[in-house]
Copies of this chain bind each other. A is one copy, B any other.
C-alpha cells in the first residue's frame, strides 16, 4: 500500500507528509488487528490497556489519576472504562481511606486470568503485524519512534 496511491496526487508529497501518513496507516492497521484479536474477550483495546497497567502494579492499587497518566485516553473516559470493567468483574473499585477523594482500583483474580489469555493473543497479533521486519529493524524503528515521542521542545509553539 503506497501512500501516493491513496491520496493520488500528481506531485510527490513532501517527505514529512508521507511519513505522517505512513504512521497513520500503520496505526489504523494496528487498531483493526488489535480490536479483532480482543473481540472474543469482549473488551476494547483501552480496557485491555487498563488491565495491563493494573497488572503492572503488582497487587498495589492504582487510583484513577495514575491510570490516566499511563493511558492515552482522557480522564472522563477512564471513569467509564473502569465502570465497564467492573461490570465484567475484571476489576474492583474502592474509596481510598486516607484520602476519600481518591479511588483505588484493583485487578481481580478473574481479571488476571483473562488478561493472561488476552496477552498471549495480543502478542501473536503484534508478531503478525511486525512479521515483515526483522528484530534489528524493530530496534532501529524503536529508536526512531522514541525520538519522535520525545518532546525536546514542547514549549516552542508553532
Query: Which residues of A approach B to under 8 Å, CB–CB?
Result: 1-2, 6-10, 14-20, 22-30, 37, 52-53, 56-58, 70, 72, 121-133, 135, 137-142, 144-153, 158
Secondary structure of the A contact surface, majority rule? helix
Q: How many copies does the complex hold?
A: 2
Question: Can you add 20 more A-B contacts, CB < 8 Å, to A14-B123, A29-B149?
Answer: A6-B70, A7-B52, A8-B53, A8-B70, A15-B135, A15-B142, A16-B127, A16-B130, A17-B126, A19-B126, A19-B141, A20-B129, A22-B145, A23-B23, A25-B149, A26-B148, A132-B147, A132-B148, A140-B140, A141-B144
Q: How far is the CB of A151 from chain B (nearest CB, A)?
A: 8
Question: Which B residues lie within 8 Å of A19 (CB)?
Answer: 126, 130, 138, 141-142, 145
* Given A20-B30, A20-B129, A138-B16: A56 in contact with B145 (beta carbons within 8 A): no
Question: Which B residues lie within 8 Å of A1 (CB)?
Answer: 146, 149-151
